Amino acid sequence: MDGLDRRTVRRRLILRGQVQGVGCRPWVCQQARALGVRGWVRNTAEGVELLAEGSEADVARLVARLPRLPAPGRVDEWLDVDAYAPGVPHAPVGEFAILPSPTSHSSAPVHALLGADLAVCDTCLAELFDPTNRRWRHPFVHCPQCGPRYTVTRRLPFDRANTSLAEFPLCPACEAEVHDPRDRRFHDQTQACPDCGPRLTLFRSSGEAVAGDAIAQTWAVLAGGGIVALQGVGGFHLCCDARQPEAVARLRQLKRRPTKPLAVMAANVASLQDWVQVSPDEAHWLTSPERPIVLLNQRPHLAAACPGLAPHLHTLGVMLPYTPVHHLLFHEVAGRPTGTDWLHAAQPTWLVMTSGNAPGEPLVIDHDHAWRELAPMADALLLHDRAITARNDDSVLRVRPDGSACWLRRGRGYAPLPMQWPARQDAPIPTVMALGGELKATLCLSTPHASGGTQVFVSPHVGNLDNAGTRLAFDALARQWPAWRQVQPSALACDLHPDFYSSRLAAEWAAQADVPLIPVQHHHAHIAAVLAEHAHDPASEQPVIGLALDGHGLGADGQAWGGELLWVHRDQCQRLGHLHPLPLPGGERAAREPWRLGVALLHLLGRDDEIATRLADQAGVAALQAWLARGQIPQTTSLGRLFDAAAGVLRLLDRSGHEGDAAMRLESLAAQADTSPPLPTAPTFTALPTIGAATAALSTPPPSILDWRPLMQWLCDQAPHPAPAATRAAAVFHLTLARDLAAWAAQACTQHNIHTMVLNGGCLANRLLDDALTQHLQDAGLRVWRAKHYPCGDGGLSLGQAWVAHHRLAVPVTPTA
C-alpha cells in the first residue's frame, strides 16, 4: 500500500457547501498541521478536495472538525472518494500543503458555490483605524471572512487569478502574509494593501482628478451640498448629505425621481434612535454581515426635518456601512479618531445612498457608463480600479413581528447563494432556467446537485425589462449563469404573458435549443415560489390553498388578474375565486393615474352624480365618465388596483410618482391611525367550487367572487374628509380587507380539507395587510406560509416558475388551465 505503515490511513474527501472564498483551504491546512496530519487541500469544480494521511485517530479528529469551519464558511457534507485513484497527487513530504487548483478542460457541471458579498469584518476595521497598522485607512481592507466575492469573480474555482484582483500583483509584505500559516491572511485570495492596490481616486464631473486624500475631498463635496457618484461593491451609488434638503431635492431633480423613497446610510444603530424606531429584530438584520436595507418606522419629526427622503411615507429605508469606503467617510466626519470605539457612538451625519443609474437603466458597474450616465447627475465621481464583474444591488426588506424578513429586493449579501430541493426518485432531475416576469426581473437556474436533489440559484435583482439597457443586462446574465455552472438548460420557463420581454426571450432560446418551453401563469408562480422555499416540508408536495395578491398578471382567461384564490398542487393550479372585477380605464395608465380608478369605482358603485364634484380639477373626467357609461372597458380583479382606487377616492394623489406609490401612501396613512376595527358587516362572497381529488378539475359552481363593494361604498362615504377621518378610513379599509380575505380563504381550506395556506404577491409587502391577514388565518387554525427568503413580489416569480417546470418535467401531467 504505497509503503504506508499499517496504522496509517489515507482519506480523500470532497467538501461541499460554502467552502470557496471563505478561507476553507487555509483553515483545513492549519487544523491538519496542528494534528500532525500530512496531505493537501485544493479548490476544484466540485468544492474543496483534501487528502489526509496520518494515524487513524488524527485523521478522524481532522474530519470531525470540518463542521466547525468558521463563518461565513459552511461544510454541508463531505464525500469519501478513492484516495488511490489514478492522477490523485500524493501527500507531499513534510507538512500539510495547499495545492494549486487543478486546471480543468472538462465540460462537466460545476458544483462549487460562489460566495456572497459581505460587510467588512470587525477585525479588518480594527486594522483600518489603527495608525500603526500598514492598512490604516486603506479603502480595500478585507480578509478571508469578509468583503466582495460574487462581484469580483470571473469564474470558479475561487482563486485570485479568476477574479478582478488578478490585476494587482502582491507586494513583498502581502506575499509574506499569504505564505505565513500563522497569519490570518494565510492564502487570502482577496489580499490588498496601499502598496498593492486597488486605489481610490476622486474626479470632478468634468473629468479632472482631485488632488489630496480622496476620502477627505469626497466629504468636502458632500458637506458642501454636492452629489457624488460612488463606486461600490456591486455597482454605483449616488450619494449626498441627507440632512441638507437642497442637496436631496437637487438629486431628485437630476435623477427624475420626484417621490420614490431614497435609502439612507447611518454610521451605526445608535445614530438611528432619534429618527426611526429600531426593534431588536430590526437591529439584528441591520448589523448582519449581509447589511441589507431595512425599512424602519419614522419618528414623527423626521419628515419635517428631512422632507425629501421618503415623502408621504411612514417608513424609511436604512442601511449601515458595509465597505471600508463607507466607514472611512464617517471616520472623516468624526475627525479621524484612533481605534474603533467611535464606531459605536451616535453620529449626526446621514448619507443618501441611492442606486447609481440613469432613470429606467440598469445599475452602473463600470467607468464608461459612469461617465456617460452618472457624471451629468453628480459633482464628483469616487472611482476605484477594481473591476466589478457582476451587478448586485442592495437588498431591501422589512422585518415581520416574528423576526422573519419580507423581501422587497434580494441582491447583495444573499445572491447568488442557492437553496436545495430534496432528491426525487420518480424521474431524472431537469436543468431549468426560468426568466421571471417583466417587472423586478430575476432569473432562476435549477440544476441537479452532485449528491442528489436540486440546487436552485435565483439571480440578484435586475430591474424592469421595459428599456434596452436593462434588457441587455438581463440577456448577459441569462447567458452567463448557465455558463458559470457549465450546464445547458433542458427546459425554459417564463410567464404566461406572451408580450413580456422575458417570455419572448425564453421562447426564442427554447426554439433555438429545441427544448421545452413552459409558460406558467403569473399567480400560480407566486404561490409556487413559496412552496419552493418550503420544499423540505412534505406538505409542499400536497395541495394547498393560496392567495395571490398583486397589481397585475395575465390570467388563464386572458384577463387581468391580481386578487386570486387558488388551489395549487405541484404544477397544477385551479382558480377557486377572485375579487369582484373593477373597470380599468386606460390599462396601465389607470395604474399611473389613480384618479381614473377613483372615477371607475364611483361609476361601478352607482355614484356617477358625485364624480364631477369630487374630481372637478381633472380635465379629462367628463370624457372618462362618458367612456365608462358606454361600457366595453377592460376589467381587473387586482387587489393592487383596488388600493389605487381607494387612494384615488381619498384624493391622496392623482398621479403616481413610481410603482406602488398610491398603495404605499394609503398604508402610511392607515399606519397613523389609532386602533380601528374592521367594519361590522360580514364578508360577502359567492359559493366556492370544489376541486375533484382524482382529476384536479373544477366542479360547479364557477369561481367564487369576494365582493368588496360594501367596503368601498363605506369608504366613499368617508371621502374626501379632513386628515383624521381619512386616516381612520384607510385603516378600516386595510383591516376589513384582511378579515374578508382570511374568511374567504379559510372557507376554501375547510371545504377542501386543506390545512396549509400560502400568501404571496406584491401586495404582501404592505405590513398592515400582511400582518392582519396572517393573524386571522392563524386564528382560524391554519398553517400560514409566506415568502421568507425571496421577494414576495415579481422578484420571486422566476423561482416559482422553476418549481412548476421542475414538477411538470419530473412527473408528466396533463396541463390544466
pLDDT in tens, 651-667: 999 999 999 999 999 99
pLDDT above 80 for 721: no
> Which H helix or E strand runs over 731?
helix 723-752
How far CA 43 is from CA of 110, 158, 263, 330, 448, in Å, comes to 12, 7, 38, 38, 20
C-beta neighbour count of 428 within 10 angstroms: 10
Asked if residue 143 lies in contact with residue 119, where contact means CB atoms within 8 angstroms, the answer is no
Average pLDDT score, the chain: 94
Confidence at 1, pLDDT banded by 50, 70, 90? very low
Q: DSSP class of residue 764? A: G
Cβ neighbour number for residue 403 with a 10 Å cutoff: 12
396 SS3 class:
strand
Q: Is the model's pLDDT at 553 over the cut of 60?
A: yes
Residue 339 confidence (pLDDT) above 60 = yes
Whether 813 has a pLDDT exceeding 60, the answer reads no
Higher pLDDT, 725 or 39: 39
Q: How confident is the model at residue 615 (pLDDT cuts 50, 70, 90)?
A: confident
| The predicted structure's pLDDT at residue 816 | 36
pLDDT at 4 over 70: no
* Residue 335 CB-density burial (10 A; 0-12 exposed, 13-18 middle, 19+ buried): exposed
Q: How confident is the model at residue 815 (pLDDT cuts 50, 70, 90)?
A: very low
Could you give the percent of the chain with pLDDT greater than 70? 97
CA 327 – CA 334 distance, rounded (Å): 10
| Residue 503 backbone zone (phi > 0: left; psi -120 to 50: alpha; other: beta) | alpha
Helices 522-533/797-810 angle, 10° precision: 80
| pLDDT value of position 587 | 84
Q: Which of 314-328, 412-426, 725-739 has the lowest mean pLDDT?
A: 412-426
> What's the chain's length in residues?
817
The pair phi, psi for residue 804, each rounded to 5°, is: -65, -45
Q: Is the pLDDT of residue 191 over 90?
A: yes
Q: How confident is the model at residue 17 (pLDDT cuts 50, 70, 90)?
A: very high
Residue bearing the bigger pLDDT, 363 or 810: 363
- Answer whether residue 699 shows pLDDT above 70: no
Peptide bond into 416 cis (omega under 30): yes
Predicted confidence band at 105 (pLDDT cuts at 50, 70, 90)?
Answer: low
Of the candidates 533, 556, 505, the one whose C-alpha atom is nearest the C-alpha of residue 785 is 533
Within 13 Å and on the Cβ side, how many CA atoms surround 177? 18
d(CA 769, CA 634): 27
pLDDT at 236 over 50: yes
What is the C-alpha to C-alpha distance for residues 647 and 669, in angstroms, rounded to an integer?
A: 10
Cross-sheet strand order for the sheet of 444-448: 419-421, 454-458, 444-448, 432-434, 491-495, 517-520
Beta-sheet pairing, 38-44 with 582-583: unpaired
Q: What is the pTM of this model?
A: 0.95
Task: Say how far apart CA 10 and CA 679 lie, in whole Å.
Answer: 73
Specify the 3-state DSSP secondary structure of 40.
strand
pLDDT value at 425 more than 90? no
Q: Answer yes or no: is pLDDT of 694 > 70.
A: no
pLDDT score recorded for residue 693:
56
Is residue 107 very low, low, confident or very high in pLDDT (cuts 50, 70, 90)?
A: confident
**Mean pLDDT throughout 368-381?**
98
Contacts of 331-340 with C-beta under 8 Å, sequence gap 24+, read: 331/129, 331/137, 331/215, 332/215, 332/216, 332/219, 333/219, 334/267, 337/129, 338/129, 338/130, 338/131, 339/126, 339/129, 339/130, 340/122, 340/125, 340/126, 340/129
Helix (H) or strand (E) holding 645: helix 639-649
The pLDDT score that the predictor gives to residue 193 is: 96
Q: Is the pLDDT of residue 284 over 80?
A: yes
Mean pLDDT of 298-305: 88
pLDDT above 90 for 343: yes
- Position 698 scores a pLDDT of 61
| Residue of higher predicted confidence among 392 and 590 | 392
pLDDT category, 697, cuts 50, 70, 90?
low
Radius of gyration of the chain (CA): 28
d(CA 20, CA 22): 5
Strand-pair partners of 494: 519
So what's the pLDDT on residue 272? 96
